[in-house]
Structure 1
Amino acid sequence: MEANVGFLSLCLLFTVIRFLVKRFWYQSDIKNDSKEFKQKYPLPPTPKCLKPWPIVGNIPELLANKPTFRWIHKMMGEMNTEIACIRLGNTNVIPITCPELSREILKKQDAIFASRPVSISTFRITKGYKTAVMVPFGEQWKKMRKVITSELLSPMRHKWLTDKRVEEADHIVKYVYNQCNKNEGGGIVNLRLATQHYCANVIKKMVLNKRYFGEEMEDGGPGLEEQKYLENVFTMLNYIYSFSPSDYIPCLRGLDLDGHEKIIKDAIKNTRKHQDPLIEERFRQYQKLGGNKESQDLLDILISLKDKNGEPLLSLEEIKAQVNELIMAAVDNPSNAAEWAIAEMINQPELFEKATQELDAVVGRNRQVQESDLSQLNFVKACAREAFRLHPVAPFNVPHVSMADTTVGDYFIPKGSHVILSRVGLGRNPKVWDEPFQFKPERHLKDDGSGVVLTESELRFISFSTGMRGCVASTLGTAMTVMLFARLLHGFTWHVPPTESRIELTESNNDLLLAKPLLAYAKPRLPAHVYQTK
């Protein structure tokens, strides 16, 4: 008996030793391979002033230089480099401003860079990574990506929802027209408020069949409750990937050293108190009716989806999280492009003349622009495209995480690195664009007269991202952007307010919006009957 026990113990000991030896040699091989990788290909250049501290890396410098995106771009400019490496905690953050390197990331090595970072903000916003855009690579992302592409944003669904988009395009024209009528046919319009709420209204109408959560103002504008709601949506957008120290040093989570956690928590709470009760009520109604309900919007589609066994495909929490993400994804890009483009064009009246000539030739002056007209509005689209190039809504694209050691442009990119493509650096790169800081829409017109599109497949700037983790809503985003822009240009003339000489085209210090919301003087330019809508 004792001999058997001794023999078994010996076998067990041998097995453990064998396992440890194999593991040791395996890890040694990995380390050796990685070492050879590093020796052959260096990391992207790091600013000489940024010698990483133990454990925290360059987080002290990050905290001392706000806003972070301006600090990063300034350092890259001083180094005269289009790729850099900044150590934050144990993470290599790699900003890129070069189209060629960007194409290598999102085209040639798309599968390697197909994941997302984990952060406090994204975890909370997505209810524990239950959505598509901000979720790390895995089965949940695959599931939700398929739902969005096949069920929510397919060409058939896009056509199905046309009337809801047109209804909101009619509404913003009515709202601006009402501002004009307050002062003998002309009036000051807050274009930031108008364009942001147009975008929010379009996506809410498509998803929830609802324009405003609160009371609508008499002139058609948003009430204070609605304005507060949208402020919280933009707060979430601003804090998704805002370089919070606790996102790079997890042991700091909960301490909220920079106030980041409380801000994002409050913003989420104040948006969901409007969204979630509607979703919960619709969910109960669907169950009560046994699924016998005709779909009216995208929320109905999400609730009605079934798996292969006939069971609900999505949980209530997944639906809530995905609705929130859809709204966030739609509100900022088109509104920012329209505000900046009109601001630039007010200072260059000849651009307005070209745009309105095109609109009058395609649409005429006795009806409003429709989505069927958009394909022919090449100069209008060129103006929107130039706004995306020169005035991106965010300094960086949504980060990509490397899922393996690799090389990009003869630089070593370790597994786990966060790669951030600079929208600012790409769109204003002087090696790519002539007079990069000038608003010149004609640069996007093609010599052969072929159609202008808002997407940019060569990543010379980023309007809608591409690749496995690219924007699946570029068709919707294009329709929203061009319709908004075309309706405002076709329906009204826009001028500097009487008390000013020109529009001040200054960026906010903390983001890329105009430093002050655009206030412009608008006058109707079409016959009165054209503005009459239901």
Structure 2
Amino acid sequence: MYLISLVPTSLGYTFLAVIVTGFVFILTRWSSKSRGGLNLPPGPPGWPVVGNLFQFAHSGKPFFEYVEELKKTHGPIFTLRMGTRTMIILSDANLVHEALIKRGALFASRPAENPTRTIFSCNKFTVNAAKYGPVWRSLRRNMVQNMLSSTRLKEFGSVRQSAMDKLIERIKSEAREHDGLVWVLRNARFAAFCILLEMCFGIEMDEDSIVKMDDILKTVLMTVDPRIDDYLPILAPFFSKERKRALDVRREQVDYVVGFIERRRRAIKNPGSDETASSFSYLDTLFDLNIEGRETAPSNEELVTLCSELLNGGTDTTGTAIEWGMAQLIANPEMQSRLYDEIKSTVGDDRRVEEKDMDKMVFLQAFVKELLRKHPPTYFSLTHAVTETTTLAGYDIPAGVNVEIFIPGISEDPRIWSNPKEFDPDRFISGKEEADITGNSGVKMIPFGVGRRICPGLTMATVHVQLMLARMVQEFEWSAYPPGSEIDFAGKIEFTVVMKNPLRAMVKPRI
């Protein structure tokens, strides 16, 4: 997934921009006329040329905290000018429902990106990055119908079970080597990545290949992290080394991934050969995919991009959900005991918990829903843009601006939730509070986005998180490290929202 939410994640900007601001000002006219008579939502006054960019940098806060502060002053819809980018921030459930559900087609596009960034998306040839139109419809329809439907997901059940067994063995091995101490995120990420690799390529990979694939894709994500020239393009000449580095990373990615694409081609053409392969994979749906408005099937580079999107989109989101979930179970041992008791009452003492058991486990479902409310994968959904200039809440929303959805503004809104800062799965069991995570019946929590651009992998992700948590709790009793210490729930952005201090935990086998 190479369209990131186009918001800065941290200070991370070189103050080289301060030196050249005067030069930029000479070349760029800044006045109230730049609004073109538009009635934009309110927002903090900005500097010439750079807008609010350096005000954010000077605050020393992560961007989500900066937005949280501005929300208190300017309300649930406000404008930020980050260099040449205009951002309209939405943090109100009703406004988001109006924009993304009631008028979903109008708000379903994506803004333009720095051309350097689009090399990783093959000029936005992905489900998440494509502008609203025929390419997006073709790619999304294929992914949803041929890969992520409930029927197709069931076909990969054995892949998930195998990955869960390997996860448990990895945790046991690590615990034996380190006196019961394990890293949670690292193990969870690896398990999720292995599932997605087999779903994507349909071929067996050794661990060295898996690790290298993961390293390459993580490098890609770091390479597309926002830079100051995304907001002040005039500074692009100062980032020639970074652009060259991006091209080098892209070449390495393509060269490596194409090898596995060709292995899948050979496996399809020569069934029963030495190539160990599954009967079906995501790649199979892409080789001859008919794209509206195009006469050719996806090229190898486009196949690399689409495969990488699937892998990136489901690995870190699942891994971080497991890390936060285990942190909550350690911090709330009564919840851990309650979940373990539910597992035992559902499956007994003589078999492992399976996917078919998930529908019977009320507390597990409530726990995961509360996990997604309290710890969504990101603070901002992927950036939206309108297909044509419109209005919202009485303000103008111009075509081309970034429409950013601030997720905690909704999932922690005290007007929607009782005690929103508290982690309480029982809110979904008591019947007093409920939420449709698709947002169709009303926006209350949107961990996967909402509307036409909602994450197509929402069902798959929920299955993976539920199954992984259930197996980990069934096999081990989890406790804090160092023993008796309190869990630090501070978060930070690393593509997804991870724990600021990565979770290490003590495990004790239950059997």
TM category (shorter chain) comes to 0.7 to 0.9
State the partner residue of 2:503: 518
Residue 277 (structure 1) aligned to one of 255, 259, 264 = 259
State the partner residue of 2:411: 427
1:189 is aligned to 2:185: no
Q: 1:98 to 1:441 in 2, by over 3 A?
A: same
Matching of residues 331-346 of structure 1 within 5 Å: 331-346=315-330
Q: Which amino acid aligns with 2:107?
A: F
- How many Å separate the matches in 1 of 2:211 and 2:501? 17
- How many Å separate the matches in 1 of 2:149 and 2:71? 42
1:505 is aligned to 2:489: yes
Moved more, 162-171 or 71-80: 71-80
Q: Is the 8 A contact 1:343 1:518 kept in 2?
A: yes
TM-score in terms of structure 2 length: 0.82
* Cα deviations by residue, 1:126-185 (Å, 9 ceiling, x for unpaired): 1222221112223221221222122222233222222112211221122223334447xx
State the partner residue of 2:144: 149
- How many Å separate the matches in 1 of 2:341 and 2:243? 50
- How many Å separate the matches in 1 of 2:431 and 2:483? 41
State the partner residue of 1:203: 196
Deviation of 1:112 after TM superposition, in Å, equals 1.0
Q: 1:404 to 1:446 in 2, by over 3 A?
A: farther
Q: 1:149 to 1:245 in 2, by over 3 A?
A: same
Residue 88 (structure 1) aligned to one of 74, 78, 82 = 82
Q: 1:384 to 1:271 in 2, by over 3 A?
A: farther
Q: 1:434 to 1:271 in 2, by over 3 A?
A: farther
Deviation of 1:428 after TM superposition, in Å, equals 2.1
State the partner residue of 1:72: 66
- How many Å separate the matches in 1 of 2:128 and 2:278? 28
Q: Which amino acid aligns with 1:117?
A: P
- How many Å separate the matches in 2 of 1:356 and 1:435? 26
Moved more, 373-382 or 83-92: 83-92
* Cα deviations by residue, 1:271-307 (Å, 9 ceiling, x for unpaired): 4454222113434665789xxx984322233225468
Deviation of 1:381 after TM superposition, in Å, equals 2.1
Q: 1:506 to 1:151 in 2, by over 3 A?
A: same
State the partner residue of 2:28: none
Identity of aligned residues (%): 25
Deviation of 1:200 after TM superposition, in Å, equals 0.8
Q: 1:209 to 1:295 in 2, by over 3 A?
A: closer
Q: Is the 8 A contact 1:355 1:379 kept in 2?
A: yes
Residue 46 (structure 2) aligned to one of 46, 51, 55 = 51
State the partner residue of 2:16: none
Deviation of 1:231 after TM superposition, in Å, equals 5.0
State the partner residue of 2:228: 245
Q: 1:268 to 1:423 in 2, by over 3 A?
A: farther
- How many Å separate the matches in 1 of 2:278 and 2:175? 40
State the partner residue of 1:109: 103
Q: Is the 8 A contact 1:131 1:144 kept in 2?
A: yes
Deviation of 1:187 after TM superposition, in Å, equals 1.2
Deviation of 1:262 after TM superposition, in Å, equals 6.3
Matching of residues 311-322 of structure 1 within 5 Å: 313-322=297-306
Q: Is the 8 A contact 1:427 1:462 kept in 2?
A: yes
Moved more, 297-306 or 125-134: 297-306
Extract unaligned runs of 5+ from structure 2: 1-32, 272-276
Question: Helix, strand or coil for the counterpart of 2:508?
Answer: strand
- How many Å separate the matches in 1 of 2:153 and 2:78? 40
1:484 is aligned to 2:468: yes
Q: Is the 8 A contact 1:454 1:478 kept in 2?
A: no
Q: Is the 8 A contact 1:180 1:522 kept in 2?
A: yes
Larger Cα Rg: Structure 1 or Structure 2? Answer: 1
Q: Which amino acid aligns with 1:131?
A: T
* Cα deviations by residue, 1:468-497 (Å, 9 ceiling, x for unpaired): 111112121111111111111122110113
Q: 1:346 to 1:135 in 2, by over 3 A?
A: same
State the partner residue of 2:174: 179
Residue 303 (structure 1) aligned to one of 275, 287, 292 = 287
Q: 1:460 to 1:109 in 2, by over 3 A?
A: same
Question: Helix, strand or coil for the counterpart of 2:498?
Answer: coil
Moved more, 410-419 or 261-270: 261-270
Residue 379 (structure 1) aligned to one of 349, 363, 369 = 363
Q: Which amino acid aligns with 2:192?
A: C
Deviation of 1:261 after TM superposition, in Å, equals 4.6
- How many Å separate the matches in 1 of 2:253 and 2:471? 29
Question: Helix, strand or coil for the counterpart of 1:480?
Answer: helix
Residue 130 (structure 1) aligned to one of 125, 131, 144 = 125
Q: Is the 8 A contact 1:341 1:387 kept in 2?
A: yes
* Cα deviations by residue, 1:401-423 (Å, 9 ceiling, x for unpaired): 11222122222212222111112
Q: Is the 8 A contact 1:201 1:210 kept in 2?
A: no
- Report the RMSD for the aligned CA atoms in angstroms: 3.3
State the partner residue of 1:414: 398
Deviation of 1:443 after TM superposition, in Å, equals 1.5
Matching of residues 445-484 of structure 1 within 5 Å: 445-447=429-431, 455=438, 457=440, 458-484=442-468
State the partner residue of 2:478: 494
Q: Which amino acid aligns with 1:84?
A: F
Question: Helix, strand or coil for the counterpart of 1:84?
Answer: strand
TM-score in terms of structure 1 length: 0.78
Q: 1:247 to 1:282 in 2, by over 3 A?
A: same
Q: Is the 8 A contact 2:476 2:509 kept in 1?
A: yes
- How many Å separate the matches in 2 of 1:75 and 1:462? 21
State the partner residue of 1:348: 332
- How many Å separate the matches in 2 of 1:318 and 1:383? 38
Aligned residues: 469
- How many Å separate the matches in 2 of 1:449 and 1:421? 22
